[in-house]
A and B are shown apart, each in its own frame.
Chain A
Amino acid sequence: DTGVSQDPRHKITKRGQNVTFRCDPISEHNRLYWYRQTLGQGPEFLTYFQNEAQLEKSRLLSDRFSAERPKGSFSTLEIQRTEQGDSAMYLCASSSDRGQETQYFGPGTRLLVL
């Protein structure tokens, strides 16, 4: 257990529904990342927060995706009007900006869109 928690661990939804995932990073970490991982692939970067500021978003992140980190602690990732292609593992990671590049990953939320 790395100290990064994600909720829910699994989500099954019907196409067109909205879903929201939560990530709680390691408490002293001010950087938070969201990744998407599909079967047989490495994690792909989606977005990155430094404290509450969203500093970068991947081109993979369509306008149906939105992420927030309102108080610089936990973060949420919302997918609106889900599509079958959104089915994947959504991983959250956190790190410190004090010269430590290491990212610690949560267990992920596995999304299945029917």
Chain B
Amino acid sequence: QQQVKQSPQSLIVQKGGISIINCAYENTAFDYFPWYQQFPGKGPALLIAIRPDVSEKKEGRFTISFNKSAKQFSLHIMDSQPGDSATYFCAAVYNFNKFYFGSGTKLNVKP
């Protein structure tokens, strides 16, 4: 059973547009929700993360929106740039070390 469901599988956005990636989870024991960015041939790199007691967190052009009652969270990339083209993974964590990753979203930002 997949613990974290991520959508869409792929996303094409024009430069300057907003990219939105969504994730949903079932287990209410999760207490940390990071997003990772992965470029081809590289390992995932932490982008931004949020705890469930906060509804939104913003770091530069990246924002996480968190809806605890709906058990959903999303990543918004404002003013998307071609350099943002990568695969993005959401994850849900509990007990500080049990990470469950979504299946990934391949983002292509067209110039």
Chain A residues close to B by CB (< 8 Å): 2, 4, 31, 33, 40-45, 48, 91, 93, 95, 97, 99, 101-108, 110
Question: How far is A101 from B91 in the complex, measured between Cα atoms in Å?
Answer: 12
Nearest B residue (CB) for A99: B96
How many chain B residues sit at the interface, stated as a range, is 20 to 34
Q: Contact check, A108 vs B103: say whether CB atoms are below 8 A apart.
A: no
Chain B residues lying within 8 Å of A99, measured Cβ to Cβ, are 96
**Chain A contact surface mostly:** loop
Indicate if the CB atoms of A41 and B104 lie closer than 8 Å.
Answer: yes
Q: Provided the pairs A105-B44, A105-B45 are in contact, do residues A97 and B96 lie with their beta carbons within 8 angstroms?
A: yes
A4 touches which of B43, B93, B99, B104 (Cβ 8 Å):
B43
Tell me if B111 counts as interface (CB < 8 A to partner A).
no
20 chain-A/chain-B pairs, Cβ below 8 angstroms = A2-B43, A4-B43, A31-B97, A42-B4, A42-B6, A42-B89, A42-B91, A43-B89, A43-B101, A45-B99, A48-B97, A93-B43, A101-B34, A102-B46, A103-B46, A105-B43, A105-B44, A106-B43, A107-B42, A108-B43
Residues of chain B whose beta carbon lies under 8 Å from any beta carbon of chain A: 4, 6, 32, 34, 36, 41-46, 49, 89, 91, 93, 96-104
Q: By the criterion CB–CB under 8 Å, are A2 and B34 in contact?
A: no
> In the complex, what residue of chain B is closest to A97 when comparing beta carbons?
B96
A85 shortest CB reach to chain B, Å: 19
Task: Name, among B4, B6, B49, B99, the residue most crowded by chain A CB atoms within 10 Å (CB to CB).
Answer: B99
